[in-house]
């Protein structure tokens, strides 16, 4: 058992930290206030290799391990969760899913451009009545021989208006249940593809979250991922890896809030001494540090298992479940440590608290993670 990071991993961590502090931090409050998508920053993330970190270099990726990805996600999420969720979706769901299950033609056509950040990807599973219950797909993909005719609506899609490539999960044969679902690659310019309204959100306000509508949209058969009926398994397998990314995002939100609270506690004085010297505050900091370190180890274990090509489904669910709770608890306490200043935008912690909540919801709610974990331990 080795807890030391390699030189390469440390270099990735340092590069992500520098980028977050120098490129993301300036303007992050303004982007949150005005719900502005960080397009320029994400473009630079692609240039730095953060949008296709685990993709094989032959497809223009970084060829890095999942541990490096977790380290980078944590550093970027400390500052801007809207940027990190775009990074997470592109890496964990779109690039990984295409590389693992796509054809060579699909990889050449789409993955190479996605891995460099030249274009963005989106993952389209959730619907108005199919969130946690992913089997209840109302979006249909009617088999028309050499193409599918797609109709339906998708909700809460990250990168919804900024992506060029969308992985759409749709029902082809309702009688077959989850075995009648397919995953299709859809290009933004496809006729019948309509971007709906942008969601006004509590947190990750810079993230480009939209509903999507498909109206008699023709998708060629060569854009199907895997065999007929593989769509549900594709979605579940991809989400297993995606949970590591969101766990790392939650970890970053928590550690970012903790670092701000620690710094503030050493500067702010009350009753003649720094508030960090008062046990009420010192104990809060101790709890934060302990919980964050626990979450970090869970995230790194899930990443390590994935890199070792071992079953990581339970580990990723545990990491996301715990890290998202730590993100909520830590950010609430960070606001409390800051007192009245914690309620003010310029101190950042109120934004981190708002951003934390979504980590308990997307890519599988905390309740879904408990289902995954309980099924594994009761086998």
* CATH code where residue 214 lies: 2.40.110.10
Q: Is residue 1 part of a domain?
A: no
Q: Does residue 314 share a domain with residue 187?
A: no
Domain coverage including residue 153: 122-232
CATH number at residue 100: 1.10.540.10
Q: How many CA atoms lie within 13 A of 158 on its CB side?
A: 28
3-state DSSP assignment of residue 157 = strand
3-state DSSP assignment of residue 149 = strand
Q: For the CA atoms of 29, 329, 160, 85, what is the dihedral angle to 10 degrees?
A: 80
- What does the pLDDT profile of the chain (379 residues) look like in tens digits? 889 999 999 999 999 999 999 999 999 999 999 999 999 999 999 999 999 999 999 999 999 999 999 999 999 999 999 999 999 999 999 999 999 999 999 999 999 999 999 999 999 999 988 877 888 899 999 999 999 999 999 999 999 999 999 999 999 999 999 999 999 999 999 999 999 999 999 999 999 999 999 999 999 999 999 999 999 999 999 999 999 999 999 999 999 999 999 999 999 999 999 999 999 999 999 999 999 999 999 999 999 999 999 999 999 999 999 999 999 999 999 999 999 999 999 999 999 999 999 999 999 999 999 999 999 999 8
Q: Is residue 2 part of a domain?
A: no
Active-site positions read 363
**Helix-then-strand count for the chain, H and E:** 13, 9
3-state DSSP assignment of residue 185 = strand
Q: Is residue 246 part of a domain?
A: yes
Q: Report the b/e string of 115-147 with b at 16+ CB within 10 A.
A: bbbebbbbbbbbbeebbeebeebebbbeeeeeb
Q: Does residue 244 share a domain with residue 207?
A: no
- The partner residues of 140 in beta bridges, in order of sequence, read 151, 171
Q: What secondary structure does DSSP assign to 227-281, as a single string? A: STT-HHHHHHHHHHHHHHHHHHHHHHHHHHHHHHHHHHHHH-EETTEEGGGSHHH
The reported pTM is 0.97
Single out the residue in 120, 144, 161 at which a domain terminates.
Answer: 120
How much is the CA Rg of the chain, to the nearest whole Å? 21
Is beta strand 209-220 parallel, antiparallel or unpaired with respect to 193-198? antiparallel
Q: Does residue 254 share a domain with residue 223?
A: no
Q: Does residue 132 share a domain with residue 32?
A: no
């Amino acid at each position: 058992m080795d807890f030391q990071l390699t030189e390469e991993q440390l270099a990735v961590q340092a590069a992500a930290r520098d980028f977050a502090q120098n490129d993301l931090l300036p303007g992050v409050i303004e982007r949150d206030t005005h719900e502005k998508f960080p397009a320029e920053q994400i473009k630079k993330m692609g240039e730095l290799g953060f949008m296709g970190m685990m993709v094989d270099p032959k497809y223009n990726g970084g060829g890095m391990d999942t541990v490096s990805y977790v380290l980078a996600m944590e550093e970027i999420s400390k500052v801007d969760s809207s940027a990190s969720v775009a990074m997470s979706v592109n890496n964990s769901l779109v690039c990984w899913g295409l590389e693992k299950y796509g054809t060579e033609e699909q990889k050449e056509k789409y993955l190479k451009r996605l891995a460099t950040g030249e274009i963005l990807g989106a993952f389209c599973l959730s619907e108005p009545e199919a969130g946690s219950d992913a089997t209840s797909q109302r979006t249909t993909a009617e088999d028309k021989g050499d193409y599918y005719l797609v109709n339906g609506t998708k909700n809460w899609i990250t990168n919804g208006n900024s992506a060029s490539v969308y992985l759409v999960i749709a029902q082809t044969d309702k009688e077959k249940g989850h075995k009648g679902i397919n995953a299709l690659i859809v290009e933004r310019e496809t006729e019948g593809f309509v971007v709906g309204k942008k969601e006004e959100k509590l947190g990750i306000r810079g993230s480009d979250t939209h509903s999507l509508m498909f109206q008699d949209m023709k998708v060629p058969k060569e854009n199907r991922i895997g065999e007929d009926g593989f769509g549900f398994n594709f979605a579940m397998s991809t989400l297993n890896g995606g949970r590591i990314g969101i766990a790392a995002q939650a970890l970053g939100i928590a550690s970012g809030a903790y670092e701000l609270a620690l710094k503030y506690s050493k500067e702010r004085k009350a009753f003649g001494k720094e508030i960090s010297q008062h046990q009420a505050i010192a104990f809060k900091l101790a709890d934060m540090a302990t919980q964050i370190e626990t979450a970090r180890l869970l995230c790194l274990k899930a990443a390590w298992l994935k890199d070792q090509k071992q079953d990581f489904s339970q580990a990723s669910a545990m990491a996301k479940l715990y890290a998202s709770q730590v993100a909520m608890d830590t950010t609430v306490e960070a606001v409390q440590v800051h007192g009245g200043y914690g309620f003010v935008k310029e101190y950042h912690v109120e934004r981190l608290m708002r951003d934390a909540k979504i980590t308990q919801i997307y890519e599988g709610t905390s309740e879904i993670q408990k289902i995954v974990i309980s099924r594994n331990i009761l086998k």
